[in-house]
Amino acid sequence: MKAKYRRILLKISGEAFLGKFSHGIDTAICAHLAKQIKELTKLGTEIALVVGGGNIFRGMPKSKEFKMERTVADYMGMIATVINGLALQNALENENIDSRVMTAISMDKVAEPYIRRRAMRHLEKKRVVIFVAGTGNPYFTTDTAASLRSVEIGADALFKATKVDGVYSSDPLEDKGAKLFKQLSYIDVINKELKIMDSTAITLCMENKLPITVFNFTKSGNLKKAVSGQKIGTLIG
């Protein structure tokens, strides 16, 4: 099996880290992700990741729930992504995979500052790079961060890991009649209000002709198949 893409960015939501728990980090999920990423490294693909923090703290919903100023809540959410990034780095190291965590918010004791040229150098040396703290700015989602980092590092494709088989017409966990889309255009996602990614993230990918694949990461081997060009999940672009 050969890789179709030279360099990819994988977006992992905070909720993906939950596993069997309702809150926090399931270490079994981190180990599962690390094993899938290890399979990719054997293909020679350069791998970057953006992680969310919703399993620990979600900025916008919590700002309303706690009557908290939105920017404060968003910064708390960014810090949550750093925790997930460090957990994933630990799992990768357990698989003997060289990795770096790079943060958009300065915290030199735990992660490297995000510098594009340095990130590119890590990737060229076949290190897995984990981008945390979103874009470093409130009011922007980690989906937007994933689109932005993909474009900045010259990724060939953006892969979004989910717990379902792709993009559906409605939530398949609630609606058994939900339709799975095999392929969509960027405009389809926006017009149908499919909510798989926010409009800013989709628009950035559209403007830069960056293909997006949404797939089920819980099934072993799916990530490798997707990066090898097999028809897995939903292709947007």
State pTM to two decimals: 0.93
Instruction: Provide mean pLDDT across the span 62-81.
Output: 87
Lowest mean pLDDT among 9-13, 23-27, 168-172: 168-172
Higher pLDDT, 175 or 48: 48
Instruction: Give the rounded percent of residues in the chain with a pLDDT score beyond 70.
Output: 98
Q: For the structural domain made of 7-236, what CATH number should be given?
A: 3.40.1160.10
Q: Determine the pLDDT at residue 62.
A: 64
CA gap 41, 145 in Å, rounded = 23
Q: Determine the pLDDT at residue 182.
A: 95
CA gap 8, 153 in Å, rounded = 9
Report strand pairing: 99-103 vs 112-113: parallel
| Domain limits, the chain | 7-236
pLDDT in tens, 105-133: 999 999 999 999 999 999 999 999 999 99
Q: Determine the pLDDT at residue 20.
A: 86
CA angle, 233 then 190 then 22, to 5°: 55
